[in-house]
């Protein structure tokens, strides 16, 4: 039986979230609570999942589980209430969906429903996968199940992108993002990150996800859902280049690290919300 604990947030978490994704003091709708269009970036929908009590003990389902070897693999978010409230009390329930055996690694997929405690209405639905190096080879299924938009391949078209947004991340981005609720030492402690193979603590996948989601909103407006695969790591301070292609109601996209030229997000897409416009 999934366990749940409430997450109450106000303008304080909203402003902190927007700042952690690079909002500037001049981006008033993102940083000033008295602005007419004060809003939280829609990818905020992942934040309540940090407060859903983990119903899954990785040690009991995986061989050789080592938290230092865990990376975020993929994320899917559905926004069920728009605009996203700038204050609410939410409750999230997480369940285990599947465990895939990649030979060297295990991929664990979890699903989280988030509801408003007062109205009882659903606000967000998330699915995420953790990619755990060194925990495969247990004789499990090799391929993930097809889950529609959640697992869609979202191949980047061969034409050059329709829109490109570039943004340098802050050196302090990971130190700031942690405070929202993902306290994983991988993003701050060089001793911990070194054991996982990274001399410098890496940026949260969901920070890169949020920054790229902001680029999509700024370019094409709000979306109903968003899915990404984390293909490569990002270091705080690196520059992200979001390359977008409009494909009907979808925007397919990928994100590249300018300094290395490597992709950090691939196979990504959003489904646009028809008739809605972003005011940021």
As measured in angstroms, the least distance from the Cβ of 154 to ligand HDC is: 13
**Which CB sits closer to ligand HDC, 72 or 256?**
72
> What is the b/e burial string over 168-182, where b = at least 16 CB atoms within 10 angstroms of the residue's CB?
ebbeebbebbbebbb
The Cβ of residue 160 has, within 10 Å, a number of other Cβ atoms equal to 8
Catalytic residue among 47, 79, 136, 182: 182
Can you read off the two tokens belonging to residue 108? 């664990």
**Which CB sits closer to ligand HDC, 204 or 250?**
204
**Which CB sits closer to ligand HDC, 73 or 213?**
73
Output phi, psi for 115, to 5 deg. Answer: -120, 155
Catalytic residue among 45, 111, 136, 187: 187
**Which CB sits closer to ligand HDC, 23 or 108?**
108
**Which CB sits closer to ligand HDC, 67 or 161?**
67
As measured in angstroms, the least distance from the Cβ of 225 to ligand HDC is: 17
User: Is 202 annotated in the active site?
Assistant: yes
Count CA within 13 A, CB hemisphere, residue 57: 2
As measured in angstroms, the least distance from the Cβ of 131 to ligand HDC is: 4
As measured in angstroms, the least distance from the Cβ of 204 to ligand HDC is: 4
CB within 8 Å of 143: residues ≥ 6 apart: 100
Can you read off the two tokens belonging to residue 144? 């993930």
CA 8 and chain centroid, separation? 20
**Which residues would be at the binding site for ligand HDC (CB under 6 A)?**
71-74, 102, 107-108, 110, 128-131, 143, 182, 184, 186, 202, 204-205, 229-233
User: Is 205 annotated in the active site?
Assistant: yes
**In angstroms, rounded to a whole number, what is the distance separating the alpha carbons of residues 91 and 96?**
17
As measured in angstroms, the least distance from the Cβ of 202 to ligand HDC is: 5
Catalytic residue among 132, 202, 226, 265: 202
Q: What is the dihedral of CA 157, 161, 167, 168, to 10 degrees?
A: 70
Catalytic residue among 45, 136, 196, 205: 205
- Any idea which residues carry the catalytic annotation? 182, 187, 202, 205
């Amino acid at each position: 039986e999934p366990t749940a604990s409430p997450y109450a947030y106000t303008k304080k978490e909203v402003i902190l979230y927007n700042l952690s994704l690079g909002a500037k003091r001049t981006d008033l709708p993102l940083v000033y609570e008295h602005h007419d269009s004060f809003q939280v970036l829609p990818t905020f929908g992942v934040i309540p999942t940090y407060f859903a009590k983990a119903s899954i003990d990785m040690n009991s389902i995986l061989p050789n589980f080592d938290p230092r070897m865990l990376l975020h693999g993929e994320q899917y978010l559905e926004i069920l209430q728009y605009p996203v409230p700038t204050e609410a009390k939410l409750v999230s329930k997480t369940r285990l969906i599947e465990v895939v055996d990649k030979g060297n690694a295990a991929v664990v997929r979890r699903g989280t429903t988030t509801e408003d405690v007062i109205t009882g209405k659903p606000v967000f639905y998330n699915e995420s996968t953790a990619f755990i190096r060194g925990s495969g080879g247990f004789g499990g299924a090799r391929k993930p199940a097809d889950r529609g938009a959640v697992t869609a391949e979202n191949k980047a078209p061969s034409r050059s992108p329709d829109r490109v947004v570039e943004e340098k991340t802050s050196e302090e981005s990971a130190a700031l993002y942690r405070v929202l609720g993902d306290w994983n030492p991988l993003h701050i402690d060089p001793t911990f990150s070194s054991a996982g193979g990274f001399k410098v603590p890496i940026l949260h996948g969901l920070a890169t996800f949020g920054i790229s989601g902001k680029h999509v909103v700024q370019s094409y407006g709000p979306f109903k859902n968003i899915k990404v695969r984390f293909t490569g790591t990002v270091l705080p301070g690196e520059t992200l280049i979001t390359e977008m292609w409009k494909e009907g109601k979808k925007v397919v996209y990928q994100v590249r690290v300018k300094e290395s030229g490597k992709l950090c997000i691939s196979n990504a897409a959003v489904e646009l919300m028809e008739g809605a416009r972003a005011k940021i």
